[in-house]
Amino acid sequence: MIQKRVQVKGLVQGVGFRPFIYNLALKYDLKGWVNNDDKGVNILLSSVDEKAIELFLYELKNNPPPLAKINEILIKEEKKELEYNSFEIKESENSNNKSTIISPDICICDDCISDINDENNFRYNYALTNCTNCGPRYSIIKTVPYDRCNTSMALFELCTKCKKEYENPTNRRYHAQPVSCEKCGPQVSLYDNKKNKLASNIDAIKQIAHLINSGKIVAIKGMGGFHLVCDATNEDAIKSLREKKNRPTKPFAVMFKNIQEIKNHTILSQKEEEIILSKEKPIVIVNKNDNKKICETVAPSIDRLGVFLPYTPLHYLLFRYLDNPIIATSANLKDEPIIKSVEDIFTKLSNVVEYVVDFNREIINACDDSIVQVVNNDMQILRLARGYTPISFKTDKKFDKNILALGANQKSSITIGFEDNMISSPYIGDLNSIVSMDYFQRSVDTFKKFYDFEPETIICDKHPNYETTKWAKKQNKELIQIQHHYAHVLSCMLENDIDEDVLAFIFDGTGYGDDGNIWGGEVFIANRSSYKRTNHIKYYKLLGGQKAVKEPRRVALALLFDNFTLEDVLSLDNACVDSFSKDEIVLLHKMWQKNLNAPLASSFGRVFDAVASFANILQVQTYEGETGLLIEKEYDENIKDAYTYEIVDNQIDLSKAIYEILRDKDKKEICSKFINMIINIICDISFENKNLKVILSGGVFQNKILLEQLSKKFKNEKREFYYSKSIPLNDQGISLGQLYYKKS
pTM over 0.85: yes
CATH number at residue 666: 3.30.420.40
pLDDT tops 70 at residue 95? no
Residue 479 inside a domain? The answer is no
CATH number at residue 32: 3.30.70.100
| Whether residue 704 sits in one domain with residue 573 | yes
Residue 441 inside a domain? The answer is no
Residue 677 inside a domain? The answer is yes
**Rounded-to-integer distance, Cα 36 and Cα 42, Å:** 6
Amino acid letter for position 683: C
Q: Which helix (H) or strand (E) holds 159?
A: none
pLDDT at 67: 86
The dihedrals phi and psi of 299, each to the nearest 5 degrees, come to -140, 75
Residue 226 inside a domain? The answer is yes
pLDDT digits (tens, 9 = 90+) for 125-154: 999 999 999 999 999 999 887 889 999 999
Bridge pairing between strands 651-653 and 646-648: antiparallel
**Rounded-to-integer distance, Cα 523 and Cα 682, Å:** 9
DSSP class of residue 26 equals H
**Rounded-to-integer distance, Cα 442 and Cα 223, Å:** 18
| Whether residue 710 sits in one domain with residue 568 | yes
pLDDT at 79: 77
Going by C-alpha positions, the residue among 334, 324, 267 that lies closest to residue 295 is: 324
Q: Among 136-145, 296-305, 324-333, name the one with the lowest average pLDDT.
A: 136-145
pLDDT at 146: 83
pLDDT digits (tens, 9 = 90+) for 211-220: 999 999 999 9
pLDDT at 256: 98
**Rounded-to-integer distance, Cα 739 and Cα 744, Å:** 14
**Rounded-to-integer distance, Cα 170 and Cα 21, Å:** 11
**Rounded-to-integer distance, Cα 426 and Cα 367, Å:** 7
| Whether residue 209 sits in one domain with residue 64 | no
Residue 638 inside a domain? The answer is yes
Angle at 624 between CA 334 and CA 552, to 5 degrees: 120
pLDDT tops 90 at residue 171? yes
Cα-based torsion angle of the residue sequence 216, 217, 219, 222 in order, rounded to the nearest 10 degrees: 90
Query: 307: helix, coil or strand?
Result: strand
| Whether residue 714 sits in one domain with residue 576 | yes
The residue ranges of DSSP E strands in 51-146, in sequence order, are: 69-77, 87-89
**Rounded-to-integer distance, Cα 631 and Cα 617, Å:** 8
pLDDT at 552: 98
Residue 172 inside a domain? The answer is no
**Rounded-to-integer distance, Cα 680 and Cα 671, Å:** 14
Q: Are the CB atoms for 178 and 135 separated by under 8 Å?
A: yes
Q: Which residues are known catalytic residues?
A: 18, 36
| Whether residue 680 sits in one domain with residue 545 | yes
Q: How many whole angstroms from its chain centre is CA 642?
A: 33
| Whether residue 79 sits in one domain with residue 193 | no
Rounded mean pLDDT, 396-424: 95
pLDDT digits (tens, 9 = 90+) for 219-264: 999 999 999 999 999 999 999 999 999 999 999 999 999 999 999 9
Single residue among 371, 406, 438 that ends a domain in this structure: 371
pLDDT at 744: 62
| Whether residue 228 sits in one domain with residue 82 | no
**Rounded-to-integer distance, Cα 674 and Cα 689, Å:** 23
Query: 153: helix, coil or strand?
Result: coil
pLDDT tops 90 at residue 672? yes
pLDDT tops 90 at residue 10? no
Rounded mean pLDDT, 598-614: 98
| Whether residue 75 sits in one domain with residue 193 | no
Q: How confident is the model at residue 94 (pLDDT cuts 50, 70, 90)?
A: low
| Whether residue 659 sits in one domain with residue 540 | yes
pLDDT at 430: 94
pLDDT tops 70 at residue 190? yes
pLDDT at 685: 97
Residue 345 inside a domain? The answer is yes
Q: Among 356-365, 446-455, 570-579, name the one with the lowest average pLDDT.
A: 446-455
Residue 417 inside a domain? The answer is no
pLDDT tops 70 at residue 97? no
Counts for the chain of helices (H) and strands (E), in that order:
24, 32
Kindly report whether the peptide bond that precedes residue 136 is cis, defined as omega within 30 degrees of 0.
no
Average pLDDT of the chain, as a whole number: 95
**Rounded-to-integer distance, Cα 174 and Cα 492, Å:** 39
Cα-based torsion angle of the residue sequence 563, 568, 573, 579 in order, rounded to the nearest 10 degrees: 80
Going by C-alpha positions, the residue among 350, 87, 364, 370 that lies closest to residue 196 is: 350
Query: 70: helix, coil or strand?
Result: strand
| Whether residue 213 sits in one domain with residue 80 | no
Strand partners, 255: 308, 326
pLDDT at 507: 98
pLDDT tops 90 at residue 40? no
**Rounded-to-integer distance, Cα 112 and Cα 118, Å:** 10
**Rounded-to-integer distance, Cα 652 and Cα 335, Å:** 34
Tally of domains in the chain: 3
Single residue among 338, 371, 404 that ends a domain in this structure: 371
Q: How many whole angstroms from its chain centre is CA 543?
A: 32
Plot region of 514 (φ>0 → left; ψ -120 to 50 → alpha; else → beta): alpha
Rounded mean pLDDT, 579-598: 97
**Rounded-to-integer distance, Cα 574 and Cα 583, Å:** 17
CATH number at residue 225: 3.90.870.10
Q: How confident is the model at residue 28 (pLDDT cuts 50, 70, 90)?
A: very high
Q: HEC states along 215-265?
A: CCCEEEECCCCEEEEEECCCHHHHHHHHHHHCCCCCCCEEECCCHHHHHHH
Q: What is the domain range of residue 212?
A: 188-371
Give percent of the chain with pLDDT exceeding 90. Answer: 91
The dihedrals phi and psi of 508, each to the nearest 5 degrees, come to -150, -165
Single residue among 51, 69, 89 that ends a domain in this structure: 89
